[in-house]
Chain A
Amino acid sequence: MQGNGFKIFLTVFFFAITGYYLYPSVQSYFIAQDKSELVGEELATYEQENLTKIRNAQEKALKLGLDLQGGMHVTLEVRVEAMISELATDVDDLFTEVLAVASQQASETDNPIIDLFVTEFESRDASARLSRYFRNEEAGITRRSSNADVAAYLRLESDEAVDRAISIIRDRVDRYGVTEPSIQKQGTRRVIVELPGIDDPDRIRGLLRGTARLEFHLMIDPAENVRSLQRIIAYYDTGVDSTATGDDSVAEADTTLDINDLLDSEELTSGNELLDVMQPLGQGVMFGQVLESDTTAANTLLSNPVIAEMLPRGVSLMYTSSPVGTTADGEEVYALLGVRDDIELTGDVITDARVDFDQRTNVPEVTMVMNSEGSRTWARLTGANVGNNIAIVLDGVVYSYPNVLGRISGGRSNITNLESQAEAQDIVTVLKSGALPAPVEIVQESTVGASLGQASIDAGLKSVMFGLALVALFMIFYYRTGGSIADIALILNLIFILGILAGFGATLTLPGIAGIVLTIGMAVDANVLIFERVREEQSTGKTLKASMEGGYAKALSAIFDANITTFFVGVILYSFGLGPIQGFAVTLMAGILSSMFTAIIFTRILMDYMVVEKKLTVSFG
């Protein structure tokens, strides 16, 4: 047994380390068991008493992937191109076109969009100066700035935007209250958000995606509204702009258009594309009403550039956030409102927001408090617009458009017409976290329910158990005593794999479990190689001891060569794969390392002990 001292030391050492890293996992298993027996108050006291113990165990326990414990994995992409066009102080057709080309290229290759934008721009016109679009005194971009300066400025802004987006998203997630969320930057413009145990994915999606741009806008002049409406309807009647005949004919029409007239006209012109999808209103700032299912069609018709011309200058149409009514068969109807493009006040001035309830109707609303500068602007704005409507717009939809009764000082405002308290809560969350510097888009999402996760755990465990049992039986059957020793090594190997995963803070996923099952089958390979060699040595008439020594020594190079290539594959899979696949790669690598150790070193200790120390006969079948 001399000479095995170091091997024994190593085994004990690894075993101890594994035990140390796996202890919290075992502990949290028992805590979960304890908890499942308790209910209500008892459970609360138990949690109270063992708070630090529970938290420690959870923190250090082997982490389960979202595909096993249930939860949401979302990859968000910050729309850098939207940010570029917002940074531009002056936009022309060339700019828009180049940006569109660059963003198309960016989705097809993995080059950063800013580089593509600059390259594309220069390829159109080598002497063109980007600085004319991005003049910004504060950032030091003047007329003389070179394209490289502008590119550097854009890159800086884009990096900042992504970082800011991450911290805002983190803030939102924290405010929503998710246990152990993980938010990481991936590449230059992607953010990976992992949220375990989410019960309402719809709400989270809205929370992550919402840019939270709060804006206060003035609205369309009612008389102009009616005029535009009539012109636009007429356009779709004949397909020609009929204003050439002079718009004075309708100019002095009552601000509230006679609905009967329009209904009549609808009947008369049943071929009118627009009236098929929109009911015209022309009352105050209301332009028309659209069924939820018709919004896409209506948007297509109304986004026609000719139509934009027919609206008063500087006015766009926006939908209301909540339906203004429902049809007889229960479909929701949204109103289209005429909103002026100029932003009078933004959400930046909001210092506090909270959920309130309307005193009369008890409907939830959000109360906002502004800073002094905002209060001043708000007071001036309301003072100058008594009798008019002001639209409160969040992320492109109008939440409310109150009629100003008088000058409002003190910087207070409300967002009303909310559907639920949850919606009010979410608005408060996004307002408090701040607006995203650029829009974000969900490019990948994987959400797994808790019960499906549990089913996957069960399926995984079943596979591990059956796989282990079958392989173990086969080894005993085929290699007798040698096989039994290999089986002990195999079990130790499994424990080591879990220890390595826990120690490195890796996550166990379903493909990871598949990796473990696969490892069970492949781990015995090293022992098979050794035992086959031992048999060969024995057949040449050597003693058991000599055969064993020869077998272990000669099998070594094959074991090493065979394992290292699979290990490389693991490394590469880990570098390029996504979450669950990385889990597979990690278990594959851990399995290779630990199986080499257990098969070569651990079994040798047992063999030596039995053969050399105890002078037993070990059968290799």
Chain B
Amino acid sequence: MRIFENINYEFIGRRKMGYVISGVLILVSLVSFAINGLELGIDFKGGREFVVETTSPLDVTTVRTALTDVLEFAPEVKTYQYNGAQQLLVRTVVDGDADVLRNQIIDTIGRTFPEVEPKIEKTYVVSANFAEDMKRGSIYSIIGSLLVIFVYILIRFEWRFGVGAVAALFHDVIITLGVFSLMQNILGFSLQIDQTIIAAFLTIVGYSLNDTVVVFDRIREYTGLFKSENYENVLNKSINNTLSRTVVTSGTTLLVVTVLFIFGGEVLRGFAFALIIGILIGTYSSVFVASPVVLELRLRAAGKRK
């Protein structure tokens, strides 16, 4: 089967449309950061998280009310099924002895629902200063990744491509973060920014670049091949001829990430969600952001020369 064979869509000619779409998406993302902000997870804020397994499903509101009475603050409470087991997640950023908290949670649930045999299946505790260190580590890894990638692109391609690739990366990460910021309380699963999400973002960075590089590689080849051709046409041809590959690879990756989203369980849901959004945006940006930026830089240089 073949799709996108011998096609010649007008991508470069319609790049202004892409600019508008990207501009709107970035604007919405930035506004959402300003209003909603991003919700940091325990990894970066410090706090406690417990997963309690029970023999039958519990009512979230009842659990929350009962816990709030005992703890004197309102913890985040969620219930879900994981691989056939009933689980309850209690999360709080309030400091305090984790042992005491753990006992209070088990006692309270045991008292409120005498027949569910609550059992702590998971404890995750991060102190505030450790969280600070993890935050720093994540920031280093983000800066480090971007630097390495930029340097690599600079070495392998001319600088305009480097700028194009990095513009596409920022575009992808800002919009994906924007989606996280917009939807943090709408979806039924946690979109808190933690270590796993940072790993997902860096993977998106790598992936989006992957797509971009394939197009750039083709541009590099065609620039040598069609010397007399108008640069815009070269870009367009490169995008069109790699489109089938772009869509197929994005498709297979999207396939597995969706599988992960459905079957991977609570821990990986936010991670998989980030990747789904990131792959969609990354594919779009390799066509509508990276190459057009290269073109604009070229046009500007040509304009000056005149």
Interchain CB contact under 8 A, A459 and B123? no
Interface string of A502-543 (1 = CB under 8 A from B): 000000001100100110111011001100100110010000
Contact A449 to B199, CB < 8 A, known contacts A471-B252, A558-B213, A562-B214: no
Interchain CB contact under 8 A, B256 and A443? no
Complex interface: chain B residues within 8 A of A447 (CB)? 122-124
Complex interface: chain A residues within 8 A of B260 (CB)? 463, 467, 514, 517-518
The reply to whether the CB of A452 lies closer than 8 angstroms to some CB of chain B is: yes
Q: Least Cβ distance of A485 to chain B in Å?
A: 16
Residue from A201, A456, A521, A536 in contact with B123 in the complex, judged by beta carbons closer than 8 Å? A201
Interchain CB contact under 8 A, A532 and B99? no
Complex interface: chain B residues within 8 A of A452 (CB)? 51, 53, 82, 85, 121-122
Complex interface: chain A residues within 8 A of B1 (CB)? 477-478, 621
**Count the B residues whose beta carbon is within 8 Å of the partner chain — how many?**
80
The reply to whether the CB of B133 lies closer than 8 angstroms to some CB of chain A is: yes
Residue from A110, A202, A511, A572 in contact with B202 in the complex, judged by beta carbons closer than 8 Å? A572
Stretch at the interface among A278-286, A402-410, A577-585: A577-585
Complex interface: chain B residues within 8 A of A441 (CB)? 127
- A301 to B265 Cα, complex, angstroms: 48
The reply to whether the CB of B117 lies closer than 8 angstroms to some CB of chain A is: no
The reply to whether the CB of B12 lies closer than 8 angstroms to some CB of chain A is: no
Contact A535 to B2, CB < 8 A, known contacts A470-B256, A471-B256: yes
Q: Least Cβ distance of B24 to chain A in Å?
A: 28
Contact A518 to B202, CB < 8 A, known contacts A202-B99, A447-B122, A459-B263: no
The reply to whether the CB of B218 lies closer than 8 angstroms to some CB of chain A is: yes
Complex interface: chain B residues within 8 A of A477 (CB)? 1
- For B119, B136, B141, B241, which residue has the most chain A Cβ atoms within 10 angstroms? B141
Residue from A459, A462, A564 in contact with B152 in the complex, judged by beta carbons closer than 8 Å? A564
- A569 to B202 Cα, complex, angstroms: 7
Q: Least Cβ distance of B54 to chain A in Å?
A: 12
Q: Least Cβ distance of B160 to chain A in Å?
A: 16
The reply to whether the CB of A557 lies closer than 8 angstroms to some CB of chain B is: yes
Interchain CB contact under 8 A, A566 and B207? yes
Residue from B132, B140, B203, B218 in contact with A108 in the complex, judged by beta carbons closer than 8 Å? B132
Q: Least Cβ distance of B201 to chain A in Å?
A: 10
Complex interface: chain B residues within 8 A of A524 (CB)? 249, 252
The reply to whether the CB of B31 lies closer than 8 angstroms to some CB of chain A is: no
Residue from A445, A449, A467 in contact with B256 in the complex, judged by beta carbons closer than 8 Å? A467
The reply to whether the CB of A42 lies closer than 8 angstroms to some CB of chain B is: no
B272-287 residues with Cβ-Cβ distance < 8 A to A are 272, 275
Interchain CB contact under 8 A, B207 and A522? yes
Q: Least Cβ distance of A73 to chain B in Å?
A: 9
Complex interface: chain A residues within 8 A of B137 (CB)? 576-577
- A590 to B217 Cα, complex, angstroms: 24
B243-261 residues with Cβ-Cβ distance < 8 A to A are 244-245, 248-249, 251-257, 259-260
Interchain CB contact under 8 A, B125 and A445? yes
The reply to whether the CB of B144 lies closer than 8 angstroms to some CB of chain A is: yes
Complex interface: chain A residues within 8 A of B51 (CB)? 452
Q: Least Cβ distance of A244 to chain B in Å?
A: 40
Interchain CB contact under 8 A, A565 and B149? yes
Q: Least Cβ distance of A313 to chain B in Å?
A: 33
The reply to whether the CB of B11 lies closer than 8 angstroms to some CB of chain A is: no
- A551 to B31 Cα, complex, angstroms: 46
Q: Closest chain B residue to A585 by CB distance?
A: B199
B202-220 residues with Cβ-Cβ distance < 8 A to A are 202-203, 205-207, 209-211, 213-214, 216-218
- A427 to B75 Cα, complex, angstroms: 35
Interchain CB contact under 8 A, B202 and A573? yes
Q: Least Cβ distance of A569 to chain B in Å?
A: 4
Residues of B within 8 A of A (CB): 1-2, 5-6, 51, 53, 82-85, 98-99, 119-130, 132-134, 136-138, 140-141, 144-145, 148-149, 152-153, 156, 195-196, 198-199, 202-203, 205-207, 209-211, 213-214, 216-218, 221, 241-242, 244-245, 248-249, 251-257, 259-260, 263-265, 267-268, 271-272, 275
Name 17 A/B residue pairs within 8 A (Cβ), A-sorted: A107-B129, A442-B125, A445-B125, A449-B119, A449-B122, A452-B85, A459-B265, A471-B252, A518-B275, A528-B245, A528-B249, A565-B148, A565-B149, A568-B149, A569-B145, A578-B195, A581-B195
Residues of A within 8 A of B (CB): 67, 75, 77, 107-108, 110, 201-202, 205, 441-449, 451-452, 455-456, 458-460, 462-463, 466-467, 470-471, 474-475, 477-478, 510-511, 514, 517-518, 520-522, 524-525, 528-529, 532, 535-536, 539, 554, 557-558, 561-566, 568-570, 572-573, 575-578, 580-581, 584-585, 588, 621
Can you add 11 more A-B contacts, CB < 8 Å, to A525-B252, A529-B245? Answer: A108-B129, A444-B127, A455-B84, A459-B265, A470-B256, A576-B138, A576-B144, A581-B196, A581-B199, A585-B199, A621-B2
Pick the 9 closest A-B CB pairs, nearest first.
A521-B256, A566-B206, A107-B129, A521-B253, A455-B83, A576-B141, A467-B256, A443-B130, A569-B206
